[in-house]
């Protein structure tokens, strides 16, 4: 048994079980189109419906028809089982009921109904959640509390408010995807007193935290959305779906009877969509289309996505790739539809092999031609990763020491100065 993630491969040649991310599975289709290395594939957490998961499921829908020996198992707590079953040829549905204790749902909206037009990001859900936590602490003597917040900034503000009370026997901890493994492990440790975990939606399904009796749910999350008209991706704080809210409530019914306080109205909850919109319906499709052409997966409009994207999104993806000179129109039209068909340019073949946004890979290729690849690598890296100024909480002092090497006098910091500092550090080492 072994695992493979980006930049880390712990697979023994004799391993018969392999754990990997959806991105690694997609990368393997470039060298093993029919995934002959596997006789069974298990796709877990399919309800997340990320771009990689939906693209993988589309490939697997075709693959199970071509490989009768391939066994495919799709698992999830909250997916639309009927839709998935029909997509895979009326595949059997097996329901496995987990052990759940009763959960009492309490609706305590912090907004008045006449304030619905106000943006969620302008509201005091941080203060409302904090007050709900203090109410729980004052009316109960045991049981840990899990608070759901949409952003890391909200988590920090909530923790500051809770810790400012200096309540004895109370430990308040953050939980979000960017935390180090050491910091995340603190939420699982046994300790005296009660714990308050303030988390993003990573705690919905990815992790099960022991000892949780109470959940405070803001009903909000950051849900990215791409606009083909402006070609920009927004990250607004948006209401979550019913299935996500129910999943959050289920976090407090694992070990004993639980209580979930929802900071929104029950009528509003019933008006929300049951499932979260798949990422493929609200994303830039340029990278997906580039991969599809590279893997010779046929016309994008005919690809067996579980939820096909709109024609406007597909057209925008092709337009982006044409502008980047990654694809070119073939002289021979599509044999089946008679419409336009596209192939990769020499530059597009290189871009398809780079695991990044096509716009960024195009920058690197052009920079290499103009002799400034080193500087462009700094820029594209900065655009592709989270803010490097963010520090791990348990290593803040060490991070400050490393960051100090890049400090400059007050002025506009240019990529060349960053690159120069990096080169000097590289020579020292």
Provide the pLDDT for residue 371.
92
Provide the pLDDT for residue 240.
93
> What mean pLDDT do residues 281-297 have?
89
> What mean pLDDT do residues 366-379 have?
91
User: Does residue 331 register a pLDDT over 70?
Assistant: yes
What is residue 115's DSSP assignment?
A: G
* Residues 244, 108 within the same domain: yes
Q: Is residue 215 part of a domain?
A: yes
Q: What is the pTM of this model?
A: 0.79
Distance (Å, whole) CA 94 – CA 107: 33
> What mean pLDDT do residues 142-153 have?
92
Secondary structure of 150-173 as H, E, C letters: CCHHHHHHHHHHHHHCCCCCEEEE
Q: Is residue 319 part of a domain?
A: yes
User: Does residue 105 register a pLDDT over 50?
Assistant: yes
What is residue 141's DSSP assignment?
A: S
Kindly report the number of other CB atoms within 10 A of residue 40's CB atom.
10
Lowest mean pLDDT among 35-39, 99-103, 210-214: 99-103
Kindly report the number of other CB atoms within 10 A of residue 119's CB atom.
8
> What mean pLDDT do residues 392-411 have?
71
Provide the pLDDT for residue 424.
54
Provide the pLDDT for residue 384.
82
User: Does residue 47 register a pLDDT over 90?
Assistant: no
> What mean pLDDT do residues 124-140 have?
93
* Residues 225, 81 within the same domain: no
Distance (Å, whole) CA 270 – CA 262: 13
User: Does residue 226 register a pLDDT over 50?
Assistant: yes
Q: Is residue 416 part of a domain?
A: no
Measured in degrees and rounded to the nearest 5, phi and psi for residue 38 equal: -125, 145
Distance (Å, whole) CA 71 – CA 330: 37
* Residues 80, 111 within the same domain: no
> What mean pLDDT do residues 330-340 have?
66
Find the domain containing 313 and state its range. Answer: 281-381
* Residues 343, 317 within the same domain: yes
User: Does residue 210 register a pLDDT over 70?
Assistant: yes
Q: Is residue 44 part of a domain?
A: yes
User: Does residue 267 register a pLDDT over 90?
Assistant: yes
Cα distances (Å, whole numbers) of residue 356 to 5, 285, 346, 348, 384: 16, 13, 17, 13, 8
* Residues 142, 239 within the same domain: yes
Distance (Å, whole) CA 180 – CA 166: 26
User: Does residue 117 register a pLDDT over 50?
Assistant: no
Q: Give the pairing type, strands 225-227 and 220-222.
A: unpaired
Provide the pLDDT for residue 118.
46
* Residues 368, 286 within the same domain: yes
- For residue 89, the SS3 value is coil
* Count: domains in the chain: 3
Provide the pLDDT for residue 429.
52
User: Does residue 393 register a pLDDT over 70?
Assistant: no
């Amino acid at each position: 048994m072994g695992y493979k993630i980006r930049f880390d491969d712990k697979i023994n040649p004799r391993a018969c079980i392999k754990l990997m991310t959806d991105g690694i599975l997609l990368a393997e289709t470039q060298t093993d189109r029919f995934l002959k290395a596997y006789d069974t594939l298990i796709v877990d957490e399919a309800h997340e419906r990320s771009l990689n998961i939906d693209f993988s499921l589309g490939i697997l829908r075709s693959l199970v028809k071509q490989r009768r020996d391939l066994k495919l198992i799709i698992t999830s707590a909250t997916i639309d089982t009927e839709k998935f079953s029909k997509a895979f040829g009326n595949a059997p549905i097996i329901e496995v009921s987990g052990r759940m204790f009763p959960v009492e749902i309490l609706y305590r909206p912090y907004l008045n109904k006449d304030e619905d037009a106000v943006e969620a990001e302008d509201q005091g859900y941080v203060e409302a959640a904090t007050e709900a936590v203090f109410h729980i602490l004052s009316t109960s003597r045991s049981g840990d509390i899990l608070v759901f917040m949409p952003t890391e900034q909200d988590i920090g503000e909530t923790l500051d408010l809770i810790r400012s009370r200096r309540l004895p026997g109370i430990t308040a901890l953050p939980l979000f995807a960017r935390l180090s493994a050491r910091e995340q492990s603190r939420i699982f440790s046994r300790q005296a007193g009660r714990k308050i975990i303030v988390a993003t939606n990573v705690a919905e399904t990815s992790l099960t935290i022991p000892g949780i009796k109470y959940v405070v749910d803001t009903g909000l999350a950051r849900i990215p959305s791409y606009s083909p008209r402006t070609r920009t991706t927004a990250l607004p704080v948006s209401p979550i779906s019913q299935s996500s809210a129910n999943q959050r409530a289920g976090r407090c019914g694992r070990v004993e009877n639980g209580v979930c306080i929802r900071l929104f109205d029950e009528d509003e909850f019933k008006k929300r969509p049951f499932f979260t919109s798949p990422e493929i319906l609200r994303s830039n499709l340029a990278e997906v289309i580039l991969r599809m052409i590279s893997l010779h997966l046929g016309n994008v409009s005919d690809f067996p996505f579980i939820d096909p994207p709109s024609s406007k999104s597909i057209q925008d993806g092709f337009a982006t790739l044409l502008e980047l000179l990654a694809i070119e129109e073939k002289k021979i039209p599509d044999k089946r539809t008679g419409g336009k068909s596209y192939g990769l340019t020499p530059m597009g073949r290189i871009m398809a092999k780079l695991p990044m946004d096509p716009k960024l890979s195009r920058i690197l290729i052009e920079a290499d031609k103009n002799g400034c690849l080193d500087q462009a690598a700094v820029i594209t890296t900065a655009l592709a990763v989270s803010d490097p100024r963010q520090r791990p909480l348990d290593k803040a002092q060490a991070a400050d020491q490393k960051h100090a090497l890049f400090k400059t006098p007050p002025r506009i910091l240019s990529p060349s100065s960053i690159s120069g500092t990096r080169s000097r550090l590289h020579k020292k080492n």
